[in-house]
A and B are shown apart, each in its own frame.
Chain A
Amino acid sequence: MRYAWVIFPAALLLIEPRVASAQLTSLRVGTNSPASTEAVLFSIAKDAGIL
């Protein structure tokens, strides 16, 4: 049981490939103003882990 914390996540990645491939996608988003609504929104959403 002492190695369960290693074995369980490894087994999960083998059983459920989507977990293994849950990759971060980097997207380039343009804005016309550095202080725009979208600049603020995406910035705080990123800080909060939404994006």
Chain B
Amino acid sequence: MIYIAGGTLSMQALVGRSLDFMCTGGTPFIYAYLEGVQGKIIGGVNNRLPYGFVSLASIKTPAQLKGKRIGISRFGSTDDFAVKLALAQFGLNPKTDVSITQVGGAATRLTALQAGSIDAAVLTLGLVQIAQKNGLNLLLDFIEKDIEYQQVAVVARDDMLKARADVVRRFMKAYSEGIRYYKSQKEVAIRKTMAKLLTNDRSIGEFDYNQRVRALPDDAKPTIKGMQLALDDIAKDNPKARNLTISQLVDLSFLP
């Protein structure tokens, strides 16, 4: 696996053929598609928003976010969308009430929060646990809201789907088996999660696993409802998105 911070950059890596598949958000994929990227979502990884909206300890209510700096990875990324979703829940305007700045991936945003260079950010759940243990405030738990959203999908280029269809099918079959293994081997998954999060704190690993397992689809399918939510949001500002349909973006034929 190759780590690339932010959905926008990772789509560039996929187009540039540095990758065969990219696990990235529905939102950056739609933006990339509108810019001419020829690809499809062929599976779902995370069909909910496994995020928490975290602020400095001094910010205890959403209203106190007015005039504050919120860190995201990149404009057009999934966390950018999640921030807008949270601000809508809080009744705040992302353009006039707060200042949104590009900081970096979730771990970088946590560091920026702890250093006080930003006031709030959306973090992945394992990092939310760490943030809370360090005195930061959880203002919104997206998992509790149970919003269907294509936070992570398996994406491939059209040329790969055509030229190496058999490899893609085998990959998706192995991925489906991987889902069953992840869901049935809880202890193995928690230990690996702890290693990836660089923590010895089992409660952090277990919390992360318990949230993620709920968002991981048993059948490896993406969420059509969640894709439509992202598409509708993009269409508000981008007229080209109004002519797009889900069938242009998603191909389920490679699933076992």
Interface, chain A (partner B; CB < 8 A)? 25, 27-45, 47-48, 50-51
Contact = CB atoms under 8 A, between A and B. Distances in A.
Given A40-B189, A45-B182, A31 B1 contact: yes
Interface residues of B, number: 51
B192 interface: yes
Select the residue from B1, B78, B106, B167 with max chain A CB neighbours within 10 A: B1
Question: Which secondary structure dominates chain A's binding surface?
Answer: mixed
A32 B178 contact: no
Given A35-B197, A43-B1, A28 B181 contact: no
28 contacts: A28-B20, A29-B22, A30-B10, A30-B14, A30-B19, A31-B3, A31-B23, A32-B3, A32-B4, A32-B24, A33-B106, A36-B23, A36-B45, A36-B124, A36-B152, A37-B182, A37-B215, A38-B45, A39-B3, A39-B196, A40-B189, A41-B45, A41-B216, A43-B1, A43-B196, A47-B188, A48-B188, A51-B174
Interface in B91-105: 105
Given A45-B182, A50-B181, A29 B2 contact: yes
Contact of A44 (B167, B185, B215, B216): B185
Contacts of A32: 3-7, 10, 23-25, 73, 78, 105, 152
Contacts of A43: 1, 192, 196
A27 B171 contact: yes
A21 B94 CA distance: 55
B193 A30 contact: no
Interface of B: 1-7, 10, 13-14, 18-25, 45-46, 50, 73, 78, 105-107, 124, 126, 152, 154, 167, 170-171, 174-175, 177-179, 181-182, 185, 188-189, 192-193, 196-197, 208, 212, 215-216
B109 to A, nearest CB: 11
Contacts of B197: 35
Given A36-B152, A44-B188, 13 more contacts: A27-B21, A30-B2, A30-B3, A30-B14, A30-B24, A32-B78, A33-B105, A33-B107, A37-B152, A38-B45, A39-B3, A40-B182, A45-B177
A22 B162 CA distance: 21
A38 B1 contact: yes
A38 B167 contact: no
Contacts of B1: 29-31, 38-39, 42-43
Contacts of B13: 30
Contacts of A44: 178, 181-182, 185, 188-189, 192
Contacts of A30: 1-4, 10, 13-14, 18-19, 21-24
